[in-house]
Copies of this chain bind each other. A is one copy, B any other.
Amino acid sequence: MGTSASKLNRAIMADIHRLSLNQATTERWSVKEAVEGCLRHGIPSIGLWRHKIHEAGLRESVRLVRDAGLHVSSLCRGGMFPAPTREERQQRIEDTLRAIDECAELHADSLVLVVGASSAVGLVDARKMVEEGLAAIVSHARESGVRLGLEPLHPMYAGERCVLNTIDQALDMASPYAPMEVGLILDTFHIWWDPYVLQQITRAKGRIYGFHVSDWLVPVPDLLLGRGMMGDGVIDNRTLRGAVDRSGYAGPIEVEIFNQAIWDMPGNDVLSTVVERFTSLV
């Protein structure tokens, strides 16, 4: 091998230590299949989803990641706090308390909170319900040693999925709590467009719990299942990663891609591309 190939290999080895497969990228795979995929492709971390864990069983999921020596970068997800009735809101809180327990068992870096939205509830009230939901779970998370990661979602989801839509807003929401209790999950798909994103990442220093990458395709094929593989769209993932690094985040970087076409591909092909694009573009 020539010098440039060796350099390339060293770059791959350095970068891949931070790579984490968010399980949503290989939606058709079980926890077992995703864990085996990570091992085959040298991916040291995994972000798990609760519906997959419930299929496999929590104890079995814990055993699978432990036996594989995988680090669990996050558990997705708790939250979804806004709802028209008090009863429904209490159910969402209780579900998130269970998610905290699962997160503790898995030794995941943090529980990702997608805070929710409700078209039956006005935006202002929905945001209050999120604050109330968060307040209702922080002490249990603290006692369980689980960090709560608020994930701001793209503003196009404000109507039906998540009323938390910018880093600044997430920081304001986290501010009543200690930096080790409530922090942020930053996903380039959700934040890339923001004209003040670099300043906001700087402001987030000390509260960044996770970093997710994918790409924004032009044109957008679908609101929910239209994310792209890094390099296939217009997001400058590397610049955003640099900013997140400078804000002191040195943890795993999850590749999280909701895309029907990628879900329809063989998982091993997806993971090969993930590793290649991650090392060359993130």
* A residues in contact (CB < 8 Å) with B: 119, 122-124, 127, 154-156, 158-160, 165-166, 168-169, 172, 192-196, 216-220, 223, 233-234, 236
Contacts and interface: CB of A to CB of B under 8 A. Distances in A.
Contact of A195 (B127, B193, B236): B127
A216 B159 contact: yes
Nearest to A157: B193
A193 B122 contact: no
Given A159-B217, A160-B219, 13 more contacts: A119-B218, A122-B236, A124-B236, A155-B156, A158-B192, A158-B216, A159-B193, A159-B216, A159-B219, A159-B220, A159-B233, A168-B196, A169-B195
A242 to B, nearest CB: 13
28 contacts: A119-B234, A122-B234, A122-B236, A123-B193, A123-B234, A123-B236, A124-B236, A127-B195, A154-B155, A155-B155, A155-B193, A156-B156, A156-B220, A158-B192, A158-B193, A159-B193, A159-B216, A159-B217, A159-B220, A159-B233, A159-B234, A160-B218, A160-B219, A165-B193, A165-B194, A166-B194, A169-B195, A220-B223
A40 to B, nearest CB: 34
Contacts of A159: 193, 216-220, 233-234
A48 to B, nearest CB: 27
Contacts of A166: 194-195
A131 to B, nearest CB: 12
Nearest to A165: B193
A124 B195 CA distance: 9
Contacts of A218: 119, 159-160
Nearest to A164: B195
A158 B193 CA distance: 6
A160 B226 CA distance: 15
Contacts of A195: 127, 165-166, 168-169, 172
Contacts of A165: 193-195
A120 to B, nearest CB: 9
Given A219-B160, A220-B223, A223-B220, A194 B155 contact: yes
Contacts of A220: 156, 159-160, 223
